Structure 1
Amino acid sequence: MNNQPLPPDGFDRSAAITRSLLGYGVIAGPIYLVVGVILGIVRDGFDFSQHALSLLMLGDFGWIQKLNIIVVGLMVIAAATGFARALRGSRIASWAARLVGGYGACLIASGIFPPDPMAGFPDESSSEDGTVSGVLHLAFGAIGFLVLAIAAIMIARWCTGRGETRLALYSRLSALVIVAGFLAGAALATETPGVLALWIAVVAGWAWLATTSIHLYRTIPHPDAHRRRAAA
């Protein structure tokens, strides 16, 4: 997808940059989940069956989870830039790249505005009345899940046009799981089934981003492809 002429040294810097940016889409999800799970294990009172990872932004060491969300959001925006570079020439796919970037921006905003205490965390506390910060956290979370699901649907259309039926089907299923999981999680926020549904939506979203980033990565020629062919 890179039609720019190679520089004198033959190294395709544009391809190298695009591949590097797409790599952030692969590692963002695992970093978010690993850091969140470790914090959830070491934080007193945190229960994975009742509490969403975002609640770790509250109380002791809450700044670590805030930083985790913001840094991962920046990684998603970097991956979205990689999407845009890899998908040049396709209007639908270009919009998908913008929406992935929007998801990253929503993550950053969610990291800036922490949620309200819920289900006895932290310190056995709960918030009866939603604060502005808590409402904004939920709003950005909802928008983020929605735009990521729409991005997956657009990528599915792009894949269908290229005859890549497996990724198209996977993207559509991922969009369905993301939306359904978030809606169930929002409706049953304080119950175990709701927390589980939210976990499924989060993991499905990260898995789709990683899978699609890897797929696009493979469409970009290796920066030293010409030298590899010559050596062979």
Structure 2
Amino acid sequence: MATAAVHTAPAVPTPSGRLLFAGALAGPVFFASAIAQMLTREGFDITRHPISQLATGDLGWIQIATFVLAGLGSLALAAGVRRTLTEGIGRRALPVLIAIFGAGMIAAGVFTMDPENGFPAGTPDGPVAEMSWHGITHSAAAAVSFTALAIAAIVLAVRCARRRAVPAAVGNGVAALVLLLPMSPDHMSIQIAVNGLVAFTWTTVLALSPALRRSA
């Protein structure tokens, strides 16, 4: 007796799922672009030049676009979290804090820091004599965005602790601690890179969280 073939339609991503997917991509896209530029831009030295300095010079538009895309991905993550996290501690605060982070990344891209310390090639060695208005805005936007994400990590740590998810609570606490550490003048560019890695790893892990995916 012949049996009828059963065809199942492929799952269609929900709007919430698409938002979380965009949020998960923000970090990998940011660092893939930044690393490629670090390896190819003449004169760039991560021990002397923060990643943000890649936004200066003739090819600076690449890093500017990278900041903006990462910021938009983070805003998508904020919207996805708002849609899927509907109960418990942090359901209101987390989307707002993540959105501030995303907006700060966009602002950090639009308002570039000043060329200094020999980068881009041809720039005089040493720090800039006086920061420009857009350099000051860049620094302020970056500070606000990372602080907001650190607070988000603290909120999520409390949420996980209340649910007895101890490893997740500890992980969020460590991420917040790293993001809130004072900047060392001697190792600032390395510390900024580490902060970026921690921040975007946090957003990617959150976007891929099974708890959010089940709700999407």
Q: TM-score range by the shorter chain?
A: 0.7 to 0.9
Give runs of aligned pairs for residues 118-129 of structure 1, distance below 5 A: 118-122=116-120, 123-125=122-124, 126-129=127-130
Check conservation: 1:16, 1:222, Cα contact below 8 A: no
Greater fraction helix: 1
Check conservation: 1:93, 1:158, Cα contact below 8 A: no
The match for 2:66 among 65, 68, 81 is: 68
> Take 1:52 and 1:220, find their aligned partners in 2: how far apart are those partners?
34
Give runs of aligned pairs for residues 192-231 of structure 1, distance below 5 A: 193-215=187-209, 217-221=210-214
Structure 1 residue 94 displacement after superposition: 2.0
Structure 1 residue 160 displacement after superposition: 1.7
The match for 1:33 among 27, 31, 34 is: 31
Structure 1 residue 203 displacement after superposition: 0.6
Are 1:173 and 2:166 counterparts?
no
Cα distance change on mapping 1:124 and 1:132 into 2, 3 Å:
same
Are 1:145 and 2:139 counterparts?
no
> Take 1:27 and 1:79, find their aligned partners in 2: how far apart are those partners?
10
Q: Deviating runs (4+, > 4 A) in structure 1?
A: 10-13
Q: How many residues align?
A: 205
> Take 1:21 and 1:173, find their aligned partners in 2: how far apart are those partners?
26
> Take 1:208 and 1:110, find their aligned partners in 2: how far apart are those partners?
19
Cα distance change on mapping 1:218 and 1:88 into 2, 3 Å:
closer
Is the partner of 2:214 in helix, strand or coil?
A: coil
The code of the aligned residue for 2:63 comes to Q
Structure 1 residue 163 displacement after superposition: 2.0
Is the partner of 2:201 in helix, strand or coil?
A: helix
Please report the TM-score for the alignment, with normalisation by the length of structure 2.
0.87
> Match for residue 131 of structure 1?
132
Structure 1 residue 179 displacement after superposition: 1.4
**Alpha carbon RMSD of aligned pairs, Å?**
2.1
The code of the aligned residue for 1:27 comes to L
Once the two structures are overlaid, the 10-residue window that deviates more, 59-68 or 87-96, is 87-96
Unaligned runs of 5+ in 1: 1-9, 224-232
Check conservation: 1:179, 1:201, Cα contact below 8 A: no
Please report the TM-score for the alignment, with normalisation by the length of structure 1.
0.82
> Take 2:212 and 2:113, find their aligned partners in 1: how far apart are those partners?
39
Check conservation: 2:50, 2:188, Cα contact below 8 A: no
Identity of aligned residues (%): 28
